[in-house]
Chain A
Amino acid sequence: VQLVQSGGGVGQPERSLRVSCVASGFTSRYYAMHWVRQTPGKGLEWVAVISDDGKTASYTDSVKGRFTISRDNSRNTVFLQMDSLRPEDTAVYYCAREVDYYFDHWGQGSLVIVSS
């Protein structure tokens, strides 16, 4: 099982960035997938989840209306589109596979810095 992330980087406030997560070694369409972020000040924070079939998604309150999680099961890829970025969105973003409400595999992390 591997989750390989790409994307992120430096973005200006109110602009957009996207992070991607490519799954291998398992049939990703059978699993819900998440994004979790980490900052030195706030520790680990769950951001979003998408169902195995991509039909349902949930978000933490602070990103609702700004972030969109999506997936392309034909490419075993999960995305996090981050719009209207804020400085407080600065963090390392991890994708993670869910099994029974826990995260058994994680991506390597993608650094997102929001700064003018």
Chain B
Amino acid sequence: DIQMTQSPSTLSASIGDRVTISCRASQAIGSWLAWYQQKPGTAPKLLIYFASTLETGVPSRFSGSGSGTEFTLTITGLQSVDFATYFCQHHNRSSWTFGQGTKVDIK
């Protein structure tokens, strides 16, 4: 099975900061990667798929990059509504795998 490892686990940032979250796959997965945002008590929300395609309605301050084994989610100009936990996700055959999550909190 392919493992997805996110770093860091927690990230403290300020409003307006540029934030980067990494996701590493245990083997090459092409561009088959999605990013989700989750706030406490709510379901995850799809932000980015195919590594860099922004889901409809997601603000352009979110961007994704990478391919193969290394992927990055970037938030350029962090806003108060962006404090949340972020997960990466990959599909392989008939199995779907999530990273362990990165919590972005207020510095």
Interface of B is mostly: strand
Q: B11 on the interface (CB 8 Å rule)?
A: no
Is the beta-carbon distance between B46 and A46 smaller than 8 angstroms? Answer: no
Complex Cα distance, B89 from A101, in Å, reads: 10
Of B42, B46, B94, which contacts A103 at CB under 8 A? Answer: B46
Q: B73 on the interface (CB 8 Å rule)?
A: no
Is the beta-carbon distance between B95 and A58 smaller than 8 angstroms? Answer: yes
Q: B100 on the interface (CB 8 Å rule)?
A: yes
Interface of A is mostly: strand
Is the beta-carbon distance between A58 and B46 smaller than 8 angstroms? Answer: no
Taking A43-B100, A43-B101 as contacts, is the C-beta distance between A102 and B95 under 8 angstroms? no
Taking A44-B87, A44-B101 as contacts, is the C-beta distance between A104 and B46 under 8 angstroms? yes
Number of interface residues of B (CB under 8 A): 22
Neighbouring B residues of A104 by C-beta, 8 Å: 46, 55
Of A45, A49, A101, A103, which contacts B44 at CB under 8 A? Answer: A103
Is the beta-carbon distance between A44 and B98 smaller than 8 angstroms? Answer: yes
Of A58, A100, A109, which contacts B43 at CB under 8 A? Answer: A109
7 closest residue pairs by CB, A with B: A106-B43, A101-B91, A46-B96, A58-B94, A44-B98, A102-B34, A102-B49
Given A101-B32, A103-B34, A107-B43, 9 new contacts (CB under 8 A): A43-B87, A44-B98, A46-B96, A49-B96, A96-B43, A102-B34, A103-B36, A106-B45, A108-B42
